Amino acid sequence: MGLLLKLSAFIDAVNEKIGGVCNWLVLLACIVSGGNAMIRYAYDSSSNAWLELQWYMFAIIVMFGAAYTLKRNEHVRVDLFYMTLSRRGQLWVDILGTIVFLIPTCTILAWLSWPFFMQAFNVSEHSSNAGGLLRWPIKLVLPVGFVLVALQGLSELIKRVAFLNDIPVESLEAHYERPTQ
């Protein structure tokens, strides 16, 4: 179990770093968006590349930030009975959900999105908009993002199984509070 926990710690560290980059991308996307709007209205000049860059940054934030969000246990839940369970019960629900839904779904989506990327890469796909960007690099974000979420799911699975076997896991983010509305 020690080797698996080291793997989990490595996956956590990778997704933590990627999450930090995504946090900065939010700021950068706001700056690009504001700058693009200012230049467009103040100087009647703009480029489709700036607009597409915003879309690309948003795609990276969503796809790569999903693994970071899962690591921090801040993803959206459909809480019908989860809060009524004991901590061990909640961990079992997390384990079953990860094994039955999360990892298989992310694996299938990564597998299905790979040809989408490869086709764009093979033809060096560009935007059809004047001044647009290359399209194939952003299409790589789909399979990589799904792989990152699947790997983070594996990490969460390892930590929860270890915790249920009375192995202390400091990095386990399993506390959940229902959002106040």
The token pair at 167 is 């192995």
DSSP summary character for residue 180: P
Report pTM. 0.85
Question: What is the Cα Rg of the chain in Å?
Answer: 20
Is 90 exceeded by the pLDDT of residue 175? Answer: no
- pLDDT one-digit tens code per residue, 97-138: 999 999 999 999 999 999 999 998 999 888 877 777 888 889
Work out the pLDDT band at 181, boundaries 50, 70, 90.
low
Q: DSSP 3-state assignment of 134? A: strand
The token pair at 126 is 């560009």
- pLDDT one-digit tens code per residue, 35-82: 888 888 888 777 788 888 999 999 999 999 999 999 988 877 777 787
| Identity at 87, one-letter amino acid code | R
Q: What is the pLDDT of residue 180?
A: 61
DSSP summary character for residue 126: B
Rounded-to-integer distance, Cα 143 and Cα 145, Å = 5
DSSP summary character for residue 100: I
Work out the number of other CB atoms within 10 angstroms of the CB of residue 149: 28
